[in-house]
Amino acid sequence: MISPETTTVTTGYTTFDSPLGELLLVGEESATAPGGTALTSLSMPEQRGVTVQPHWRRGPGPFAEAVRQLRAYFAGELTRFELAFRTGGTDFQERVWRALEAIPYGTTTTYGRLADVVGVPRGDVRALGAAIGANPLLILRPCHRVIGADGTMRGYAAGVERKVALLRHEGALQPTLI
């Protein structure tokens, strides 16, 4: 009996020093992605559930374009990312994450408005919030742009203070004067 060939996907990672702390970029080999790597995760310090795995390969090369775009974003020179992603969410999560990408730089939307866009009944807004909270590509899929209907900053996987910092960076919030 001949055993079927198994394909092994190589996962790589690198880190990037940003104004928000050290970012962890994780990706998988992809024949169709520019640079040969599709991003699977971008996380921030103290983010729950994100740890480097022993079998991952460290190397900045496959992430050069992502790092270039992130540098340009933090320098105020880039407002939309053009990168290849490969995420493994449910159909619902993927639909929500794609809707996040449509929220323009420098703006915010509410959970209720995003629910309308995605077609989620108002009674299921918690499911929408859970999908947003599971977004593996912080900054790139801008879940930080979703706020409460009353303007309050709701949860953010990397901490509300980083959400506020991102919104200030994008000009969606005015700096606090002391």
Q: What is the DSSP string of 56-73?
A: PEE-SGGGHHHHHHHHHH
- Is the pTM for the entire model greater than 0.85? yes
Q: Which of 114, 143, 158, 167 is catalytic?
A: 143
Per-residue pLDDT tens digits of the chain, which is 178 residues long: 444 454 567 899 999 999 999 999 999 998 888 778 999 999 997 787 778 899 999 998 899 999 999 999 999 999 999 999 999 999 999 999 999 999 999 999 999 999 999 999 988 888 999 999 999 999 999 999 999 999 889 888 899 999 999 999 999 987 655 5
| 143 in active site | yes
Q: How far apart are CA 101 and CA 18, in angstroms?
A: 21
Q: How far apart are CA 39 and CA 101, in angstroms?
A: 15
Torsions phi, psi of 23, nearest 5? -90, 145
Q: Among candidates 66, 86, 85, 68, which has minimal Cα distance to 77?
A: 68
Tokens representing 82 are 């053009």
